[in-house]
Amino acid sequence: MLTGKIALVTGAGRGIGKAIAMDLAANHAFVIVNYNGSKDAAEQTVSEIKAAGGDAAAYQCNVSDFDSCGNMIGELIKEYKHIDILVNNAGITRDELLMRMKEEDFDAVIGTNLKGAFNTIRHMSRYFLKQRAGKIINISSVSGILGNAGQANYSASKAGVIGLTKAVARELAGRGINVNAVAPGFVETEMTDVLSDGVKEDLLKQIPLGRVGHTQDIAKAVTFLASPAADYITGQVLSVDGGMAI
Ligand code: NAP
């Protein structure tokens, strides 16, 4: 149970982030549903959380912008007094084979997926250090563990998230702050909707448990890492991928 805890989940209006927000709220955390462009979706997530008996608020911020992240976290701390859980979920893809990948597509993916996580952690850690407590959970990917053809930018960003998680876990452990990553496999969301049926079939063949992941599969792992049950776990990467990365 996360009663009395406040969680900030980035990119929580839809997809995996929405499921994470809903699950944290179902476990009694107050959830700040961050979004960038999808205002209606974020407000819908807040409504669904409230309809289920939880509590939440939506907040717009582009996580790839360092100063915007500082403003968001400063304003949230002013309003809510504390934040206890940070989930870096916001992410994008710009898939292309290396020889055709544009520089801006590399930069955009690194900027959101890796620098976005750095931006929120950098600003939030100030408060977590003062509190001498905090849980940070970064969403990586099987693509950052195994590498994936056509995703040099994405795989690099998600491998970077793992390095960031481990380095920051070492730096903040002395102050009671846990930093972990969750690495989903192939999960049905708008991000993977764009894949062709052929690619989806190939991916399915690579999953030992024989089914695609659901957003709730990822959310359950995040809630566990955010809970006191995971107080002695830090610097870890929890693969939630049906065995893809074995
Ligand atoms: P999705 O359905 O495409 O949702 C992406 C989310 O990220 C949206 O809520 C979006 O919000 C948000 N976002 C993107 N850029 C942002 C920015 N600059 N600032 C704030 N929010 C931003 O993707 P998903 O499948 O749920 O993926 C969620 C996370 O899981 C990502 O980190 C992804 O890399 C990771 N993941 C997904 C899979 C999979 O199979 N689906 C597998 C492994 C890892 P707006 O709409 O408001 O921009």
Per-residue pLDDT tens over the stretch 156-168 = 999 999 999 999 9
Instruction: For ligand 1, pick from 89, 137, 162 the residue to mutate: most ligand atoms within 8 Å of CB.
Output: 89
223 lines ligand 1 (CB under 6 A): no
Whose alpha carbon is nearest atom 18 of ligand 1? Answer: 62
141 lines ligand 1 (CB under 6 A): yes
* The predicted structure's pLDDT at residue 193: 92
* The predicted structure's pLDDT at residue 44: 98
* The predicted structure's pLDDT at residue 230: 98
Closest-lying ligand 1 atom to the alpha carbon of residue 38? 47
Give CA–CA dist 185/215, Å, rounded.
Answer: 11
Ligand 1 centroid to residue 13 C-alpha, Å: 9
Percentage of the residues of the chain whose pLDDT score is greater than 70 = 100
Mean pLDDT of 189-218: 95
Mean pLDDT of 148-153: 97
15 lines ligand 1 (CB under 6 A): yes
* DSSP of 40-58: HHHHHHHHHHHHTT-EEEE
Per-residue pLDDT tens over the stretch 75-123 = 999 999 999 999 999 999 999 999 999 999 999 999 999 999 999 999 9
Ligand 1 centroid to residue 174 C-alpha, Å: 31
* The predicted structure's pLDDT at residue 161: 99
Q: Which residues are catalytic?
A: 154
Closest-lying ligand 1 atom to the alpha carbon of residue 186? 40
Whose alpha carbon is nearest atom 12 of ligand 1? Answer: 11
* The predicted structure's pLDDT at residue 124: 98
* The predicted structure's pLDDT at residue 104: 98
210 Cβ contact partners less than 8 Å away, ≥ 6 residues apart: 204, 242
Mean pLDDT of 165-174: 98
Per-residue pLDDT tens over the stretch 31-74 = 999 999 999 999 999 999 999 999 999 999 999 999 999 999 99
Ligand 1 centroid to residue 73 C-alpha, Å: 20
60 lines ligand 1 (CB under 6 A): no
Ligand 1 centroid to residue 177 C-alpha, Å: 25
Instruction: For ligand 1, pick from 189, 199, 203, 241 the residue to mutate: most ligand atoms within 8 Å of CB.
Output: 189
DSSP element (H, E) containing 117:
helix 115-131
Whole-number CA gyration radius for the chain: 17
First to last CA, the chain: 31
54 lines ligand 1 (CB under 6 A): no
37 lines ligand 1 (CB under 6 A): yes
**Which amino acid is it at 61?**
C
The angle that helices 39-51 and 15-26 make with each other, rounded to 10 degrees, is 30
The angle that helices 15-26 and 215-226 make with each other, rounded to 10 degrees, is 50
Give CA–CA dist 122/190, Å, rounded.
Answer: 29
